[in-house]
Amino acid sequence: MSTITTRSAAAASRRGELAAFLRLRRERITPKDVGLPGGPRRRTPGLRREEVAQRAGVGVAWYTWLEQGRAINPSVQVLDAIARALLLDPTERDHLHRLAGVPGAAKCTPARQPLPPEAQTILDSLSPLPASMVSAGYDVLAFNEAYAALDPRMVLLPPSDRNVLWRLFTADENAQPLVDWEREVSFMVGQLRAEFGRRLHDPGWRAYIRKLSEASSLFVEMWARHEVSAPVTHRKGFRTVDGREVTITATGFTTAAVPDAKMWIYTPAGPDAVRVIDELLVRYREIGAAGLVAEGAEGADGPRS
């Protein structure tokens, strides 16, 4: 395949992503959201194309072409007007810019770099707070003992298989570590979609998305929503291998040494969570990850208090 053909195919793929994103964002807005009458004869969900075009101050035909994935080059000013018309948040606006091919918006992300030795030292120093280094594609690159104690099933996997999303979409229900699975996984898929927007033409990332799609119809459904989100500090519930529930606050930090990864630190949300994590950590140091999983299986008749 020639360079010109490759570039043409890449541009067409990007425009297809842009078209789907615009359509889905338009369909989620009700007329009431923007002060328009609903009316009984409205056949399509959300706003009409002409309503978006009017709100953005652009021609209806031009906006229709954009939503159809035609080869047009909107300016930053026009894209910002469309973002305002569609009530996009800052993360969604940046995603729109990348999909539209705005110069400078789709910056190349560096290839994965090896973790510097100090990364593991930092993680270890954070114990008894569970902490890990996770790539943009949710590969678990490193972790400390408290993380291993909280989620021993993950660390028992071979390093190449330690991927958070792959596990969440393929593991048996009794091995799922998240209490509110739907909310947390939707949030992570939104982050993955935003990261994918920076790597639309990366064959490794495309293969990764195909692999998840082939493994899980639920992933296909969530991916098709074209929702994007940014990593934020938030509370989440973990289910331990012995059946207890632990509420933690997840906080992510970017490191200059590995800009493609984040260090996630899980702070217990209260004294009960502190106690459970401390108990798991002590037990992990005594019997290891496999021992914790085995104990959890033996005590599966009912959660511990």
Question: Are 219 and 213 a contacting pair, CB within 8 Å?
Answer: yes
User: Strand pairing partners for 252?
Assistant: 264
Average pLDDT over residues 208-217: 94
Average pLDDT over residues 153-180: 91
pLDDT of res. 303: 45
pLDDT band, residue 160 (cuts 50/70/90): confident
Question: Are 115 and 258 a contacting pair, CB within 8 Å?
Answer: yes
Distance CA 147, CA 84 (A): 41
Within 8 A by CB and 6+ apart from 125, the residues are: none
Q: Where are the beta strands (DSSP E) in 79-219?
A: 131-135, 140-143
Average pLDDT over residues 17-25: 89
Q: Is the pLDDT of residue 287 over 90?
A: yes
pLDDT of res. 194: 92
Distance CA 298, CA 305 (A): 16
Residues 229-242 as b or e (16 or more Cβ within 10 Å = b): bebeeeebbbbbbb
Average pLDDT over residues 182-196: 94
**Strand order in 261-268's β-sheet?**
140-143, 131-135, 261-268, 245-254, 234-239
Q: Is the pLDDT of residue 37 over 90?
A: no
| Average pLDDT value over all residues in the chain | 87
| Span of 36-50, 107-121, 183-197 with lowest mean pLDDT | 107-121
Average pLDDT over residues 122-126: 95
Question: Are 198 and 109 a contacting pair, CB within 8 Å?
Answer: yes
